[in-house]
Amino acid sequence: MRVTGGWPLAVGLLLLGWLWLGPLPDMARRAFSPHMILHLGVAVTAAPLIVIGLLRLSPGRGTLRYPVLVAVAASALEFAVVWGWHAPAMHEMAARSHSRFALQQLSFLVAGIALWWACLAGRTREELAIGGVATLFASMHMAMLGILLILAPQLIYAPQFCLGAFGLRPLADQQLGGGLMALFGTLPFVAAGAWIASRLARQEPAGRR
């Protein structure tokens, strides 16, 4: 039962292996939309699967001792990692070096796991509500970054690191990356927020028990 219940962990780890060992890392250092596909695959697909699998394997151990502190710290870390690595100087620095690129990808995973743990590990009404606020904040700043990239009238990143992919010109490729961020960086958090809201609706306030 424990192995069966933990299948999201296995899927998340397999996905992570495919993302990091497949063709995307090399493409991501030369074009923006593959970078965004890789980022979203790690942070909002593999990371929540890993967290869900760990929580299923250890029910009750995910209870947050200091839910507000955990949520604020995880949200701040994830915000700093996402916006920091997408600043032109940081993005280009990572693209120039294998070791810095690996650090970038590892930070996406660590920040993603921390945030999804803060969002999904709650059990009490307070913890669930705090997790819901964290999902809302994450969806908002991911959408904001994506929209800024879509609306940029020119390349934000140096041309040698934004050559274009999938037959697209560099600017269109950058805008595609922004669109992926705005849509697929937001939807998982919206879905998580809806799941949290449904759990809150099913729980009775403490005073009524």
pLDDT tens digits, 70-117? 999 999 999 999 999 999 999 999 999 999 999 999 999 999 999 999
CA distances from 75 to 49, 194, 199 (A): 18, 18, 21
Number of domains in the chain: 1
Distance CA 184, CA 39 (A): 11
The answer on pLDDT for 193 being more than 80 is yes
Distance CA 145, CA 147 (A): 5
Largest CA distance in the chain: 62
Query: Percent of the chain having pLDDT more than 70?
Result: 92
Confidence of residue 60 (pLDDT cuts 50, 70, 90): low
Per-residue pLDDT, 209 = 45
Distance CA 160, CA 162 (A): 6
Distance CA 208, CA 196 (A): 20
Each residue of 144-192: pLDDT tens digit?
Answer: 999 999 999 999 988 887 888 888 999 999 999 999 999 999 999 999 9
Q: Identify the CA nearest to 49 among candidates 84, 70, 18.
A: 18
CA dihedral 135, 139, 140, 145 (to 10 degrees): 140
Range of the domain at 157: 2-208
The answer on pLDDT for 59 being more than 90 is no
Helical ranges in the chain per DSSP H: 2-5, 7-21, 24-28, 32-41, 47-57, 67-85, 88-96, 98-120, 125-151, 170-184, 187-202
The model's pTM is: 0.90
Chain mean pLDDT for the chain: 90
Per-residue pLDDT, 44 = 97
The answer on pLDDT for 48 being more than 70 is yes
Give me the mean pLDDT over the 29-38 stretch.
Answer: 94
